[in-house]
Chains A and B, each alone.
Chain A
Amino acid sequence: MRFKPGKIALSIAAPVFAAVFSLAVSSASLLATNKSPREAFSLMWEFGSGAGSLMEAVNLATSYYIAAIAIALTFRAGLFNIGVEGQLRLGSLFAAYFGAMIVLPPVLHILAIFLIAMFVGGLWASIAAYMKVKRGVSEVISTIMLNSVAGGVSAYLLSKHFMVKVEGSNDLATKPLPASGQFPDLMPVLKKLGVEEQPGGGVYGMLLVAIVLGIAFWFVVNRTRFGFELRSSGMNPIAARVSGVNSKKMTFIALVASGAIAGLAGLPTLLGDTHSYTLGFRGGVGFTAIAIALLGRNSAVGMAISALLFGFLEVASRTLELIDIAPETYVIMQGSILLSAVIAYEVVRRYQLTLQSHALAKAGDK
């Protein structure tokens, strides 16, 4: 490939436009409430760029990223798994419960927990996959509804069967994972690299898993036959079928694989921090991840950047309360980033098409 400065400029244009636009929208919303955007943004930057905050942002991003990969896998196949939220919740619950029961040496124990989470997430997604393939039920509807069911099932299982008493607390929680089932923190490694320890800080070891998953996602989707057939089914299901892709099989595999990956998305916190599934299990990751997958355009690198961005905004915005600004301002930021990114990508795409047809006019008139 030749180096094409124009091409690179184009690919940067969209995100830059999106960032500027969302800054403008959030500023407007701050001004509307008589707050100074400058003060707010500088405070957010000051707080958010601190080492402890950055670590926390990375930790948040780890879960977001894994969940976004699960969603992107179905987007690429022309499907939409909104059920990541439910799949990761059940995956985490079962992983926490059974993970605490089994006795295995350290590495194997974690692998076993992974398998449990993936199995449960995949199994839950397979309900929607089965209904889609056998009965033509839209996976969008079924996975949304299965989210609610998963919420109910997990609450029931936790309160009736899986919980142990927590001393001095009203919280319900599963039995804590033994040390062999906890994913070691990356802090010791980071310290060797010169990163100073932060009070309450740390970086989940699951970050490494997320990175490996991202590379695997990129490789499988872009470089393998399975990935090609997946993408073909997404882009033109009829042509994919004509080319010999078994569309039902592809749908089933994509949804179940997505569910299995989603099952892992709750583990960074579980294995790195809480070590047990509690009533206070963090919700909403599966939904935020939809926005991250959209913003990152279902690409491994793009989603990594947007996951980090969302994690950063979420952590940094907590400080806004100090100057009496609703921390939900970051929701406005997320929304406007997403909106402007989608528009900017479309504008850039159309511009690229125009460029191409010009190039083609020249080639055609040869």
Chain B
Amino acid sequence: MAIAVELRHISKRFPGVIANKDVSIKVESGSVHALIGENGAGKSTVMKILYGMQRPDSGEILVNGQSVQFKKPADSIEAGIGMVHQHFMLADNFTVLENIVLGYEPSHGGVIDFNAARAKINEMAAAYGLTVDPDALVEDLGVGQRQRVEILKVLYRGAKILIFDEPTAVLVPQEVDELFEALQGLRKDGLTVIFITHKLDEVLRVADDVTVIRAGSTVAEVKASDVSAKKLAELMVGSELPSPEIHGSAKRNEVTLSLSKLTVLAESGARNLVSDVSFTLHAGEVLGIAGVEGNGQSELIEAILGLRNYTGTVVFKGEPLDDESVSERRDMGIGFIPEDRQRQALLMSSPLWENRILGHQRGKPVMNGVLIDRKATMKDTVRIMQEFDVRAPGPDTLALALSGGNQQKFIVGREMSGAPSLLLASHPTRGVDVGAQAAIWNELRAAREKGMAIVLISADLEELIGLSDRLIVMLRGSVTAELDPTKTTPESLGSAMTGAA
């Protein structure tokens, strides 16, 4: 088979660091080729080089067997390469048609020939199953449809090689299915797709070949049909895949948290968000709460922290909490990793060191009386960055500049500081790569050994089963089952969550 794109021994260094070292990739034409690696492994740099956004220091790029030099994206577009960006670059107040032809308008005596463009777009859309109304305004479209517009835009410009940068990150499962169908259509038509991701199940579903990048270098090239997700993950991490596992019991005698008949009423007076939940949690114990999202798990955790009104009682280390405010509960030793980190746990446009204060602004080390202790805060922020491998230039970096995985590691580090007695962890490893996930698991395990009690919510059932000492299942706000994790499989837990068991 012909080779559509080949990268030979590409290296790229930024001052002081090597982003890519000896990267070699061969992409067969008419195939779907996945490029996988952890966050920060250098995938994006490779693709930026191929798309002409950055120039390699050494190495060679071949497109259809011809050696090429890309100085800017226009050069690579010229060579038939198109990029579908993760963040869409569309003008909201333009129609689909206008967005697609923007910059490449077919004109007829100075007048844009929209009819010709519309015909061409409809033809392409039908051929690849990318149906979208050319006259709809982009602002009225959903995410999945916007992505189609991006793909059509690239195809319209004559691209034969399409690069997709984490295309499924913003899609719901249904839209992912549709995208994958479209990819198959493109492949059948002889187009080449390069697919950047760190989601391994997707790779196995859609890709023909896989190239793995680790620490800036290509470490493996395999056929998707020959590998398992586990094998791919191990190639990505470079060692045997860590698994969420706890050994023995760290449970102590003292009770850290006990709930009795905790009920959270819905604001509109509909059924209770949380109904009559009671449990006891000892120090050194992890209680996993399983449930399909939206069955009251988040509300339960928020009630324990005092963010929601409830009836019933919450007792923490022997003290009733019901009359205490959020700040008092936090100060008594409750840490919180919320499910939506950007909304609930970060000041996005503030530097990391100020984010270190958030939630801890009533005590040491970040405060000295009522005054902010800037120096100590900086120092402790650096400590968190080192211990939790938060990759950022320094404590002055704004939170919004960090990748999701690094933000999460920072939050976990922050909430673990001061060794709280109880940690409420909601999806602690959501959206982080394998390496960071393993690091967070290690921290949770170590904290459990030291006697921290943890309430854990996770959509990752293996994580939930692996890390928990006990499991409860919530359905429509009530606890419907209590399970022993050692005797539970993801399948059996899954059916318990939907109420089938």
Q: Which residues on the B side are within 8 Å of A359 (C-beta)?
A: 393, 397
Provide the residues of chain B in CB contact with A360, threshold 8 Å: 391-393, 397, 401-402
Q: Tell whether, in the assembled complex, residue B362 and residue A225 are in contact, meaning their CB atoms are under 8 Å apart.
A: yes
Q: Which of B14, B16, B348, B360 is packed against the most chain A CB atoms within 10 Å?
A: B14
A238 touches B391 (CB 8 A): no
Whole-angstrom CA separation of A324 from B107 in the bound complex: 53
Q: A239-B343, A242-B344, A246-B325 are in contact. Are A365 and B19 (CB under 8 A)?
A: yes
Closest to B373 in A: A223
Q: Which of A224, A235, A364 gathers most chain B CB within 10 Å?
A: A364
Q: Which residues of A contact B336 (CB under 8 A)?
A: 242
A363 touches which of B327, B347, B354, B393 (Cβ 8 Å): B393
**Min CB–CB distance A11 → chain B (angstroms):** 15
Are A364 and B361 CB-contacts (below 8 A) given A242-B338, A244-B327? no
Q: What chain B residues lie within 8 Å of A246 (beta carbons)?
A: 325-327
Choose the segment among A28-36, A43-51, A206-214, A226-234 that binds chain B (4+ C-beta atoms closer than 8 Å): A226-234
Q: Does B269 contact A (CB under 8 A)?
A: no
Among residues of B, the one whose C-beta sits closest to the C-beta of A229 is B361
Cβ–Cβ < 8 Å partners of A228 in chain B: 354, 357, 361, 372
Name the interface residues of A330-366: CB closer than 8 Å to any CB of B. 353, 356-357, 359-366
Q: How far is the CA of A222 from the CA of B44 in the complex (A)?
A: 38
Interface string of B354-365 (1 = CB under 8 A from A): 100111111000
Please determine whether A224 and B397 come into contact, CB atoms closer than 8 angstroms: no
> Binary interface profile of B, 115-154, with partner A (CB < 8 Å = 1, else 0)?
0000000000000000000000000000000000000000
Residues of B within 8 A of A236 (CB): 343, 346-348
Residues of B within 8 A of A353 (CB): 398, 400-401
B307: chain A residues within 8 A (beta carbon): 241-242
A361 to B362, CA, bound (A): 34
Inside 8 A of B329's CB, which chain A residues have their CB?
244
A245 at the interface (CB under 8 A from B): yes
Q: With A235-B349, A242-B345, A359-B393 as known contacts, state yes or no: A364 contacts B326, CB within 8 Å.
A: no
Residues of the A chain whose Cβ atoms lie less than 8 Å from the Cβ of B392 = 360, 363
B126 to chain A, nearest CB (A): 39
A243 within 8 A of B: yes
Taking a contact as CB atoms closer than 8 A, the residue among B14, B331, B344 that contacts A361 in the complex is B14
Question: Which chain B residues lie closer than 8 Å to A364 at the CB level?
Answer: 39-40, 391, 403, 406
Q: Knowing A243-B359, A360-B397 touch, does A232 contact B45 (C-beta < 8 A)?
A: no
A242/B326 in contact, CB under 8 A: yes
Give the residue of B40, B330, B345, B400 whose beta carbon is less than 8 angstroms from that of A239: B345
Bound complex: CA of A243 vs CA of B338, how far in Å? Answer: 11
A242-B359, A362-B15, A364-B40 given; A226·B343 CB < 8 A: no
Instruction: List the B residue with the shortest CB-CB distance to A226.
Output: B370
Docked-complex contact B330 and A366, CB < 8 angstroms? no
Query: Complex: how many Å from CA A353 to CA B349?
Result: 10
Report which A residues bind B (CB closer than 8 A).
Answer: 222-226, 228-229, 231-232, 235-236, 238-246, 353, 356-357, 359-366
> Can you name 19 A-B pairs with beta carbons within 8 Å?
A225-B362, A228-B357, A228-B372, A229-B361, A232-B358, A235-B350, A238-B344, A242-B305, A244-B326, A246-B325, A356-B398, A359-B397, A360-B391, A360-B402, A361-B45, A362-B14, A365-B19, A366-B40, A366-B391
Please list the 10 inter-chain residue pairs (A to B) with the smallest Cβ-Cβ separation, ordered nearest first: A244-B327, A243-B359, A365-B19, A364-B40, A362-B14, A356-B401, A244-B326, A359-B393, A363-B393, A243-B358
